[in-house]
Amino acid sequence: MKFRFDIDKSIASTAYLIRKQRGALNVLPLVKALYHANRASLVRYGRSITGDRLISMKSGPNVSETYDLINGTPHAKPEHLVKWQKYIARKHNTMQLIPDANPNIDCLSGREMRLLDDALAVVCAVKGRIDEWSHRYFPEWEKPTGLSQSTTIDPKRILEIEQKTPEEIEDIEGEIESVNWLRSIAG
């Protein structure tokens, strides 16, 4: 089960969360809130907000493509990185909006914003280390082994953990394939 990454929704979701925190948000709470919101969207609506690939890292579950953009890694698509850097900057471990940049969050639906709000509230309420909390809170997380810094989390595994029936999972997979196909022909 694979989603199609949406750079505009990644920027919008990140900007939305940063704005909610008065213009600055630490990287770890940001990526945990994005993961939480994408996971909740999958479980409730059979969709991802950003289309990010979900991964397990030592620090817990993560949103892969957005994390690559945050870090400016070579894994990020150059055209996505250029777009990202028009709106969002990293200063040490804090993400901020570029001054006078106005990222468009209109691509987010009301329910997506509510999922982001809920996820941020959960993450901001964590007492102690967020990485240790995320290891316990998300049962699909597995510690990467060997030299690997990450392992892929199959969205199907999340749906199984959340007790979706095989029929429900099959329906969700079919809908995701249809949405991905429509997005591919729309450009």
- Residue 175 sits in which domain range? 7-186
pLDDT at 9 over 90: yes
The pLDDT value recorded for residue 141 is 96
Please count the residues of the chain.
187
Percent of the chain with pLDDT over 70: 99
The secondary structure of residue 129, as a DSSP letter, is -
Backbone angles phi, psi at 64, to 5 degrees: -65, -55
Give the per-residue pLDDT at 137.
94
- pTM, whole model, 2 decimals? 0.94
Query: How far is residue 161 from each of residues 43, 73, 96, 164, 181, measured CA to CA in Å?
Result: 10, 31, 34, 8, 27
Percent of the chain with pLDDT over 90: 81
Q: Which amino acid is at 46?
A: G
Provide the domain count of the chain.
1
Distance of CA 100 to the CA centre of its chain: 25
Residue 73 in domain = yes
Residue 163 lies in a domain: yes
More reliable by pLDDT, 74 or 6: 6
Residue 180 lies in a domain: yes
Task: Tell me, yes or no, whether 2 lies in a domain.
Answer: no
* Domain membership flag for residue 25: yes
- For residue 161, tell me if it sits in a domain: yes
pLDDT given at position 1: 82
pLDDT at 148: 73
Q: Report if residue 134 sits inside a domain.
A: yes
| Dihedral pair phi/psi, residue 50, rounded to 5° | -100, -15
How do residues 87-112 score in pLDDT, each as one tens digit?
A: 999 999 999 999 988 899 999 999 99
- The verdict on residue 1 lying in a domain is no
